[in-house]
Every structure is written in structure tokens, then in C-alpha cells.
């Protein structure tokens, strides 16, 4: 493959300028490979722009026994937070306890495990049990919630994260083509 504008042979052609494409281009260029990235619209314009804006460890996957997946996601969350603390910000969430859905002990056990898999306390605060009748955060909830938990994950400026990955890929030699549709791929042997 070769870049149409520069004529340079490419080791990797990435189609799509969202967070996955940007991250792959950055990683490949960082390994010394010749990289081209082609995005038909603007960077971070489609799926990446519709994200939850969260970098999370996948708390819900604990109920399915996906401990390795959660540990890996929490590890990556911490890596991203250390690499881009201005973009990946620890954020506390309130999880009200609805006894008819899950008993409090189960939520407490899940959050304890989440804290320990993610080494909470270092980069992110540990989860806590809350009396929502006394805690000011409880005022925002329906009156029926008496207790709950706080836990931490991270929010992210996803578009800026995409742009920083693309800029870093470009600085490492990647050819970035925005508003360029990839319609044909010719492979030379």
C-alpha cells in the first residue's frame, strides 16, 4: 500500500478517525511503522462523538464474573489518567440502593472488588456507603432512596483525546487525511 499524496509505502492503513483509529495510528507510528489514517469526515465525528464521555472499568461486568476484563479496563483507565490528567478526570458517582433490584451487601461487595481491582485510593477515591437521607447528594434523588454508595470512575473530553492521539501519530510520521474517502485499496507485492 502507499499513501496517494506522498507516494510513500505504508505498513498500516487505518480507515476511520475515531478513538480506535486514532489510537491504532498512534501506536503503530510509535512502533516505527509507516502509517496512513483516512477519515471521510472530521476526526471524532461519528461514534466517538456519541460516547458516554466516560473512561470506566465496567462495573456491571463484575456480575458476570468478568474479573480479568474489569481489571484490565481499570488498569487502562489509570494509564490514561496519568498520561492525560487534563482530559481524564476522576469523577464520583452515586449509586442508590434499590433493595428490590440488588441487596446492599451485593452492591457493597461489588464496589469493594471494583476498588481493589482498580487499586482505588491511589488515583481514584474508594467507594463509600451513603445515607442518602443525610448526604446532600441524596436530595437530587427520589425520596424513596434511603441509602446507596459512591464510587469513582473518570470522565473524558473524548474529542480532544482523539485529536491528541492523531497529533501524536502525525508527529511520529503518520500521514493523516481528513475529509478523504478511502474508496480503493491497491496492494503492491
DSSP string, 164-187: HHHHHHHHTT-EEEES--------
- Superfamily holding 1-52+158-189: FAD/NAD(P)-binding domain (3.50.50.60)
Task: Report pLDDT digits (tens) over 9-30.
Answer: 899 999 999 999 999 999 999 9
pLDDT category at 176 given cuts 50, 70, 90 is: very high
Cα separation, 67 vs 122, in Å, equals 20
pLDDT averaged over the chain? 92
The DSSP 8-state label assigned to residue 125 in this structure reads P
Helix, strand, coil % (nearest 5) of the chain? 40, 20, 40
Domain ranges of the chain: 1-52+158-189, 54-156
Residues 20 and 160: beta-carbon distance below 8 Å: no
Amino acid at each position: 500500500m502507499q499513501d496517494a499524496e506522498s507516494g510513500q509505502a505504508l505498513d498500516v492503513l487505518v480507515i476511520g478517525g475515531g478513538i480506535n483509529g486514532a489510537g491504532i495510528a498512534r501506536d503503530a507510528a510509535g512502533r516505527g511503522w509507516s502509517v496512513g489514517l483516512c477519515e471521510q469526515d472530521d476526526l471524532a465525528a461519528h461514534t466517538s462523538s456519541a460516547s458516554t464521555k466516560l473512561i470506566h472499568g465496567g462495573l456491571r461486568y463484575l456480575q458476570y464474573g468478568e474479573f480479568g476484563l474489569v481489571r484490565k479496563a481499570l488498569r487502562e483507565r489509570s494509564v490514561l489518567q496519568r498520561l492525560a490528567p487534563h482530559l481524564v478526570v476522576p469523577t464520583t458517582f452515586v449509586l442508590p440502593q434499590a433493595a428490590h433490584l440488588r441487596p446492599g451487601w451485593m452492591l457493597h461487595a461489588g464496589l469493594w472488588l471494583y476498588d481493589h481491582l482498580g487499586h482505588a485510593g491511589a488515583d481514584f477515591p474508594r467507594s463509600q456507603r451513603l445515607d442518602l437521607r443525610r448526604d446532600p447528594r441524596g436530595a437530587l434523588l427520589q425520596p424513596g432512596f434511603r441509602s446507596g454508595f459512591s464510587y469513582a470512575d473518570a470522565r473524558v473530553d473524548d474529542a480532544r483525546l482523539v485529536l491528541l492521539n492523531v497529533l501524536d501519530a502525525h508527529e511520529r510520521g503518520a500521514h493523516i487525511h481528513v475529509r478523504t474517502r478511502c474508496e480503493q485499496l491497491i496492494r503492491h507485492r
